[in-house]
Amino acid sequence: MLAPRAINSLNKDIKKDLLSGRFHINNSLVMYAQYSADMTSRDHIFRQLFESVSSTYTYILADTKSREAVIIDPVIETVERDVNLVKDLDLNLVYALNTHVHADHVTGTGEIKKRIPSCKSVIGEPKAKADVYIKHGDIIKFGQYELECRSTPGHTDGCMTFVWHQKNMAFTGDALLIRGCGRTDFQAGNPGVLYEKVHAEILSLPDHTLLYPAHDYKGQTVTSVLEEKKYNPRLTKTKEEFIKIMNELGLPYPKQIDKALPANMMCGVFDVQTS
């Protein structure tokens, strides 16, 4: 249930629905209530952070009892911000996870490891440098919590989605964006594979599961399984229609790819040591 202060911040119509118990899943009030409650929970910490140049979201998840934490998709330009926040919150950062080898920014994982040597880097791409290589079905633990690793290739061949079943959240990287999806025209991308994997591994989750992407370019922060099954303009099509759409996008060459890809294959820096 939302705290009274949170309810008072909502507009009159939504406030009326919340107080009366009329939660309409089709307008996301249930998801909004859960999201707001999660932000103020006493048993865990959830932070969504933004890097404006590449429009990248970085996530910090933590267990308030053990203080163990993970960070997902850090960006090199915001490492100081992220490390300072970890210290301010008195967290023990155990893992730095990348959903895939990014092409639009350099990961902050290597620089974080320099500042927090006990933190281990994690990725699903075996050719990239990391401390821990994950595969489909693996579990990443932090305190009393765990993330299930689900392989969702198609944008790249090493994409992973991290599912936090205990909090009904999933971190989808570029595989599934809010009302969109990642491009499929480089890094071994494949639109048919992306379509199948997103439907099998992400849109098969419970409808109320909140989905947090690696990027958004329109100021949106979160979506849900139900919303994307109903409103995603690409993934609501047939597989054949989806493939045609993706093959005809004609997107420009990524601005940072020539710098980002080789750096990200080396954990974001060229002198990082793995254990």
| pTM to 2 decimal places | 0.83
The tokens for 105 are 């920014």
Amino acid at 206: P
Residues forming beta bridges with residue 120, ordered by sequence position: 95
DSSP single-letter state for residue 167: G
Q: Is the pLDDT of residue 12 over 70?
A: no
212 contacts 183 by C-beta, under 8 angstroms? no
**Greater confidence, 35 or 152?**
152
pLDDT at 254: 79
Nearest C-alpha neighbor of 40 from the set 92, 3, 69, 70 = 3
Q: Which domains are delineated in the chain?
A: 13-263 (3.60.15.10)
Distance between CA atoms of 217 and 143, rounded to whole angstroms? Answer: 33
Grouping H, G, I as helix, E, B as strand and the rest as coil, residue 121 is strand
pLDDT at 257: 86
* Region label for 273, one of left (φ > 0), alpha (ψ between -120 and 50) or beta (otherwise): beta
Q: Is the pLDDT of residue 271 over 80?
A: no
Amino acid at 220: Q
Average pLDDT of the chain? 87
195 contacts 160 by C-beta, under 8 angstroms? no
Nearest C-alpha neighbor of 103 from the set 73, 133, 81 = 73
Q: Is the pLDDT of residue 9 over 80?
A: no
- When pLDDT is averaged across residues 185-207 and rounded to a whole number, the result is 96
The per-residue pLDDT for range 58-83, each reduced to its tens digit, is 999 999 999 999 999 999 999 999 99
- When pLDDT is averaged across residues 171-195 and rounded to a whole number, the result is 96
HEC per residue, 21-84: CCCCHHHCHHHHHHHHHHHCCCCEEEEEEEECCCCEEEEEEEECCCCEEEEECCEHHHHHHHHH
DSSP single-letter state for residue 217: S
Distance between CA atoms of 74 and 158, rounded to whole angstroms? Answer: 17
- Determine what percent of the chain is predicted with pLDDT higher than 90: 72
The per-residue pLDDT for range 255-264, each reduced to its tens digit, is 788 888 888 8
The per-residue pLDDT for range 230-267, each reduced to its tens digit, is 999 999 999 999 999 999 999 888 778 888 888 888 88
pLDDT at 3: 47
Grouping H, G, I as helix, E, B as strand and the rest as coil, residue 223 is strand
pLDDT at 270: 53
